A and B are shown apart, each in its own frame.
Chain A
Amino acid sequence: MRLRRSGLGLAMAVLLAGPALAHHSFAMFDHDHQVRLTGTVTHFKWANPHVYIDLDVPGDSGDPKHYTIECANPGILDRSGWKFNMIKAGDRITTIIAPLRTGEPGGLLKQVTLADGRQFNNGGPAGEANIK
């Protein structure tokens, strides 16, 4: 499992900047300790109120760990350059997420890198990745 943590202290900036246009507050995600995950997409759901990526990430013991990654909605992503079918089940992708504060395997997408190398953010309201 590829996992890196960063403590760049940007959480307050992210929170104060405000998740305008959000379906809910982003306070349930830890923007200060972003995580990089590489894995295989098991499902890509392009729908409102949020697009979701379900990702299996190889674990230390060999068994994959399943992550649920929340993205913005199709409208915001459309306007950020995404396309509804640019991710498919079986794709190997790398994501940077703000993990759930509960410690559960899920989070808010900050950046995704597709198998062909193209990178996309999650639209302005979600905030930028603060790790590489």
Chain B
Amino acid sequence: MKHPLRQAVRAAIATGALAVAGGAPAAPNLTGTWDHAPGVKLDPRVTSAIQVATPPLKQPYLGQWLAQQQQAKEADARGQPLFSGYTQCLPDGMPAMMMAMFPMEILQTPGQVTIIQEAYNQTRRIYLGEKQLAIDDAEPGFWGHSVGHWEGNTLVVNTVGIKEEVRFRGAPHSPAMQIDERIHPLPGGMLQDDVVVTDPEYLTMPWKFSWKYVRKPGYKMLEYVCESNREYEDPKTGGVRMRLDDPDSAPQPPAQPAQR
């Protein structure tokens, strides 16, 4: 006969949470490397397999967004995919980095959870137990200002301060955009991030989507410096072109000593 306590401990381990006195699950240990769950198609900017619902934009923004999508589709069909900030080596920022296009690392330290996305060395810091800044005090950035707390085994995160130029799926947003996340373990050792984007100026309703992750045991994160980009924007078509000369073989100016 199976011992009930042993079964409970096994279940707690399976979900990544260990029960504490009083019955509420404690914060799970999420530290380690993770990858997007297998079979999940990513990066809807460049694939038709969209995993994220169409942004519930107000008009006229929805009409403009749909026109942009059509323009991108037609450009692809012509073999001239549109140039983007991402092609220009800019990181994708929040919430796109949580798609885990490449492996990501979670580090839990006292008072902070840090999430590193291998692509572009993106790093976001979630400050635990701190009060969120007023919108006017949050300096706009790619990853914004995130605060969080644990509710049982769920990391609850609020993010503000995303630059208006940082657009997930090309959807425009105002400085008032907020991203709320509930990051929680799933049975079988997986992890899920339930994301809710709100923006009273641009969205008719909260924009909701989720991503799942699996552990990547033993994986050591690689550096990612966008140092050798041969893609550029064709000034005539706005499409991506590839340099055909070898930039490293071109004459280079003599190296200057580093300035400090």
Contact = CB atoms under 8 A, between A and B. Distances in A.
Given A21-B42, A42-B246, A68 B230 contact: yes
Contacts of A18: 41, 43, 46-49
Contact of A20 (B43, B242, B246): B43
A48 B227 CA distance: 6
A49 interface: yes
B193 interface: no
A40 to B, nearest CB: 13
A106 B227 CA distance: 20
A25 interface: yes
Interface string B29-48: 00000000000011100111
A66 B103 CA distance: 35
A55 to B, nearest CB: 10
B132 interface: no
Given A21-B42, A23-B87, A28-B81, A50 B240 contact: no
A21 B101 contact: yes
Contact of B79 (A27, A48, A73): A27
Interface of A: 15-30, 42-43, 45, 47-50, 52, 54, 66, 68, 70, 73-76, 78, 100-102, 104-106
Contact of B229 (A49, A101, A106): A49
Contact of B77 (A22, A27, A102): A27
B222 interface: yes
Contact of A70 (B118, B222, B242): B242
A21 B103 CA distance: 11
Contacts of A75: 102-103, 118-119, 222, 224
Nearest to A24: B87
B81 A68 contact: no
A19 B222 contact: no
B162 to A, nearest CB: 22
Given A43-B249, A75-B118, A27 B80 contact: yes
Interface residues of B, number: 42
Given A20-B101, A25-B76, A43-B249, A50 B49 contact: no
Interface in B229-244: 229-231, 239-244
B136 interface: no
Contact of A30 (B75, B77, B79): B79
B228 A50 contact: yes
A24 B244 contact: no
A19 B81 CA distance: 12
A49 B231 CA distance: 10
A104 B243 CA distance: 10
Interface hub of B119, B243, B249 (most chain A Cβ within 10 A):
B119
A91 to B, nearest CB: 15
B73 to A, nearest CB: 10
B228 A49 contact: yes
Contacts of B48: 15-16, 18
A19 B86 CA distance: 14
A73 B224 contact: yes
A124 to B, nearest CB: 11
Contact of A23 (B86, B239, B241, B243): B86
